[in-house]
Amino acid sequence: MSVHDQLELAFTFHWNTHADANLADFDAAVAVHVRGVLAGMKHAARVMATQGSGSIINVASINGSRAGLGGHYYSAAKAAVIHLTRCAAVELGEKGIRVNSLSPGPIATGIFGKGAGLASDEADQKVEVAEAAIATVLPRWQPLPIVGSVDDIAQAALFLASDASRLISGHNLVVDGGISSGWPVSVTREDIGRFQMAFQTSGSK
Protein backbone atom coordinates (compact mmCIF):
# COMPACT_ATOMS: atom_id res chain seq x y z
CA MET A 1 0.00 0.00 0.00
CA SER A 2 1.14 3.56 -0.62
CA VAL A 3 1.26 6.29 2.00
CA HIS A 4 -2.22 7.25 0.82
CA ASP A 5 -3.54 3.77 1.60
CA GLN A 6 -4.33 3.14 -2.04
CA LEU A 7 -3.17 0.38 -4.31
CA GLU A 8 -2.16 2.21 -7.46
CA LEU A 9 0.03 -0.42 -9.05
CA ALA A 10 0.04 -4.21 -9.24
CA PHE A 11 3.03 -5.79 -10.98
CA THR A 12 2.53 -9.54 -11.55
CA PHE A 13 5.48 -11.78 -12.62
CA HIS A 14 9.65 -21.66 -17.18
CA TRP A 15 11.37 -24.47 -21.82
CA ASN A 16 9.98 -28.85 -24.31
CA THR A 17 8.65 -30.38 -27.57
CA HIS A 18 5.26 -31.80 -28.52
CA ALA A 19 6.65 -35.31 -28.82
CA ASP A 20 7.93 -35.16 -25.25
CA ALA A 21 4.99 -33.22 -23.86
CA ASN A 22 4.42 -33.75 -20.17
CA LEU A 23 0.95 -32.61 -19.22
CA ALA A 24 1.87 -32.29 -15.55
CA ASP A 25 4.68 -29.91 -16.47
CA PHE A 26 2.33 -28.02 -18.77
CA ASP A 27 -0.22 -27.69 -15.98
CA ALA A 28 2.50 -26.45 -13.65
CA ALA A 29 3.60 -23.79 -16.15
CA VAL A 30 0.04 -22.59 -16.61
CA ALA A 31 -0.49 -22.56 -12.84
CA VAL A 32 2.54 -20.34 -12.32
CA HIS A 33 2.36 -18.05 -15.31
CA VAL A 34 -1.39 -17.76 -15.96
CA ARG A 35 -3.21 -18.71 -12.78
CA GLY A 36 -0.72 -16.69 -10.75
CA VAL A 37 -1.34 -13.61 -12.90
CA LEU A 38 -5.10 -14.06 -12.69
CA ALA A 39 -4.90 -14.36 -8.90
CA GLY A 40 -2.84 -11.20 -8.68
CA MET A 41 -5.30 -9.26 -10.83
CA LYS A 42 -8.25 -10.62 -8.86
CA HIS A 43 -7.03 -9.25 -5.57
CA ALA A 44 -5.61 -6.01 -6.95
CA ALA A 45 -8.80 -5.21 -8.87
CA ARG A 46 -10.92 -5.43 -5.73
CA VAL A 47 -8.93 -2.68 -4.06
CA MET A 48 -8.53 -0.56 -7.18
CA ALA A 49 -12.24 -0.75 -8.06
CA THR A 50 -13.12 0.65 -4.66
CA GLN A 51 -10.81 3.62 -5.10
CA GLY A 52 -11.71 4.08 -8.77
CA SER A 53 -8.18 3.97 -10.15
CA GLY A 54 -5.09 1.79 -10.58
CA SER A 55 -2.62 0.26 -12.99
CA ILE A 56 -2.04 -3.47 -13.31
CA ILE A 57 1.08 -4.66 -15.15
CA ASN A 58 1.35 -8.34 -16.07
CA VAL A 59 4.74 -9.72 -17.08
CA ALA A 60 4.48 -11.65 -20.34
CA SER A 61 7.29 -12.38 -22.82
CA ILE A 62 8.11 -12.08 -26.51
CA ASN A 63 7.72 -15.87 -26.45
CA GLY A 64 4.01 -15.22 -26.03
CA SER A 65 3.76 -13.58 -29.45
CA ARG A 66 6.68 -15.09 -31.39
CA ALA A 67 7.19 -18.86 -31.60
CA GLY A 68 10.53 -20.64 -31.69
CA LEU A 69 12.46 -18.70 -29.08
CA GLY A 70 11.22 -20.51 -25.97
CA GLY A 71 9.67 -23.74 -24.73
CA HIS A 72 6.12 -24.71 -25.67
CA TYR A 73 4.65 -24.59 -22.18
CA TYR A 74 6.21 -21.27 -21.28
CA SER A 75 5.35 -19.69 -24.62
CA ALA A 76 1.72 -20.84 -24.53
CA ALA A 77 1.34 -19.59 -20.97
CA LYS A 78 2.78 -16.19 -21.83
CA ALA A 79 0.47 -15.92 -24.86
CA ALA A 80 -2.40 -16.53 -22.47
CA VAL A 81 -1.14 -13.75 -20.21
CA ILE A 82 -1.16 -11.29 -23.11
CA HIS A 83 -4.76 -12.07 -24.04
CA LEU A 84 -5.89 -12.31 -20.42
CA THR A 85 -4.53 -8.80 -20.02
CA ARG A 86 -6.66 -7.56 -22.91
CA CYS A 87 -9.75 -9.25 -21.49
CA ALA A 88 -9.14 -7.70 -18.09
CA ALA A 89 -8.56 -4.28 -19.63
CA VAL A 90 -11.98 -4.15 -21.29
CA GLU A 91 -13.66 -5.40 -18.13
CA LEU A 92 -11.91 -3.17 -15.61
CA GLY A 93 -11.56 -0.02 -17.66
CA GLU A 94 -14.95 1.33 -16.66
CA LYS A 95 -13.78 1.13 -13.05
CA GLY A 96 -10.82 3.37 -13.82
CA ILE A 97 -8.32 0.51 -13.86
CA ARG A 98 -5.71 0.21 -16.60
CA VAL A 99 -4.34 -3.26 -17.41
CA ASN A 100 -1.27 -3.79 -19.59
CA SER A 101 1.31 -6.49 -20.18
CA LEU A 102 5.05 -6.15 -20.54
CA SER A 103 6.95 -8.52 -22.85
CA PRO A 104 10.72 -8.59 -22.35
CA GLY A 105 13.12 -10.06 -24.88
CA PRO A 106 16.39 -11.69 -23.77
CA ILE A 107 17.33 -9.88 -20.56
CA ALA A 108 20.62 -10.56 -18.79
CA THR A 109 19.54 -12.22 -15.54
CA GLY A 110 20.48 -15.33 -13.60
CA ILE A 111 17.69 -17.38 -15.14
CA PHE A 112 19.82 -18.19 -18.18
CA GLY A 113 22.69 -19.46 -16.05
CA LYS A 114 20.32 -21.60 -14.01
CA GLY A 115 18.91 -23.08 -17.19
CA ALA A 116 22.47 -23.91 -18.29
CA GLY A 117 23.17 -25.76 -15.06
CA LEU A 118 24.84 -23.15 -12.87
CA ALA A 119 23.99 -23.14 -9.17
CA SER A 120 21.23 -20.68 -8.34
CA ASP A 121 23.37 -18.31 -6.27
CA GLU A 122 26.23 -18.41 -8.76
CA ALA A 123 23.91 -17.65 -11.67
CA ASP A 124 22.39 -14.67 -9.89
CA GLN A 125 25.79 -13.30 -8.90
CA LYS A 126 27.35 -13.71 -12.35
CA VAL A 127 24.87 -11.90 -14.56
CA GLU A 128 27.77 -10.96 -16.84
CA VAL A 129 27.91 -14.63 -17.92
CA ALA A 130 24.34 -14.39 -19.16
CA GLU A 131 25.12 -11.08 -20.82
CA ALA A 132 28.07 -12.60 -22.69
CA ALA A 133 25.99 -15.61 -23.75
CA ILE A 134 23.18 -13.42 -25.08
CA ALA A 135 25.73 -11.29 -26.93
CA THR A 136 26.88 -14.34 -28.92
CA VAL A 137 23.46 -14.78 -30.57
CA LEU A 138 22.31 -11.16 -30.57
CA PRO A 139 23.70 -10.26 -34.02
CA ARG A 140 21.41 -12.84 -35.67
CA TRP A 141 18.33 -12.20 -33.55
CA GLN A 142 18.06 -8.58 -32.57
CA PRO A 143 18.31 -5.44 -34.72
CA LEU A 144 19.47 -3.24 -31.83
CA PRO A 145 22.98 -4.35 -30.76
CA ILE A 146 22.28 -3.91 -27.05
CA VAL A 147 21.92 -6.64 -24.41
CA GLY A 148 18.84 -5.89 -22.35
CA SER A 149 19.11 -5.34 -18.61
CA VAL A 150 16.65 -5.38 -15.74
CA ASP A 151 16.82 -1.58 -15.74
CA ASP A 152 15.31 -1.54 -19.24
CA ILE A 153 12.33 -3.51 -17.97
CA ALA A 154 12.05 -1.38 -14.84
CA GLN A 155 11.90 1.81 -16.92
CA ALA A 156 9.16 0.34 -19.12
CA ALA A 157 7.20 -0.70 -16.04
CA LEU A 158 7.55 2.77 -14.54
CA PHE A 159 6.10 4.24 -17.72
CA LEU A 160 3.08 1.91 -17.61
CA ALA A 161 2.59 2.68 -13.92
CA SER A 162 2.77 6.44 -14.36
CA ASP A 163 0.27 9.04 -15.53
CA ALA A 164 2.33 9.37 -18.72
CA SER A 165 0.49 6.23 -19.89
CA ARG A 166 -2.92 7.22 -18.52
CA LEU A 167 -4.66 6.52 -21.85
CA ILE A 168 -2.91 3.19 -22.43
CA SER A 169 -4.75 0.01 -21.48
CA GLY A 170 -4.95 -3.46 -22.99
CA HIS A 171 -1.53 -2.93 -24.55
CA ASN A 172 1.37 -5.39 -24.69
CA LEU A 173 4.53 -3.31 -24.39
CA VAL A 174 7.37 -5.20 -26.07
CA VAL A 175 10.90 -4.47 -24.83
CA ASP A 176 13.07 -6.67 -27.05
CA GLY A 177 15.43 -4.53 -29.08
CA GLY A 178 13.36 -5.12 -32.21
CA ILE A 179 13.38 -8.94 -32.21
CA SER A 180 9.62 -9.11 -32.71
CA SER A 181 9.86 -6.86 -35.76
CA GLY A 182 12.13 -9.21 -37.69
CA TRP A 183 15.69 -10.40 -38.16
CA PRO A 184 18.49 -7.83 -38.46
CA VAL A 185 18.86 -6.69 -42.06
CA SER A 186 22.46 -7.95 -42.20
CA VAL A 187 21.17 -11.46 -41.52
CA THR A 188 18.37 -11.33 -44.06
CA ARG A 189 20.67 -9.76 -46.67
CA GLU A 190 23.07 -12.68 -46.21
CA ASP A 191 20.24 -15.20 -46.54
CA ILE A 192 18.88 -13.49 -49.65
CA GLY A 193 22.38 -13.69 -51.12
CA ARG A 194 22.42 -17.45 -50.52
CA PHE A 195 18.97 -17.72 -52.11
CA GLN A 196 20.08 -15.89 -55.25
CA MET A 197 23.31 -17.86 -55.40
CA ALA A 198 21.31 -21.10 -55.46
CA PHE A 199 19.71 -20.02 -58.75
CA GLN A 200 23.04 -19.05 -60.26
CA THR A 201 24.57 -22.36 -59.22
CA SER A 202 21.60 -24.26 -60.63
CA GLY A 203 21.70 -22.34 -63.89
CA SER A 204 25.38 -23.09 -64.47
CA LYS A 205 24.85 -26.85 -64.38
Instruction: Report, as residue numbers or ranges, the catalytic residues.
Output: 74
Cβ neighbors of 9 (< 8 A, separation 6 or more) are 54, 55, 56, 57, 161
- Helices in the chain by DSSP H: which ranges? 23-30, 36-51, 72-92, 110-115, 120-125, 127-141, 150-161, 185-203
- 174-198 b/e with 16+ CB inside 10 Å = b? bbbbebbeebbeeeeeeeeeeeeee
d(CA 58, CA 153) in angstroms, rounded, equals 12
How does strand 9-12 pair with strand 97-104? unpaired
Rg, Å, the chain Cα set: 20
Cβ neighbors of 68 (< 8 A, separation 6 or more) are none
Q: Are 106 and 148 in contact (CB under 8 A)?
A: yes
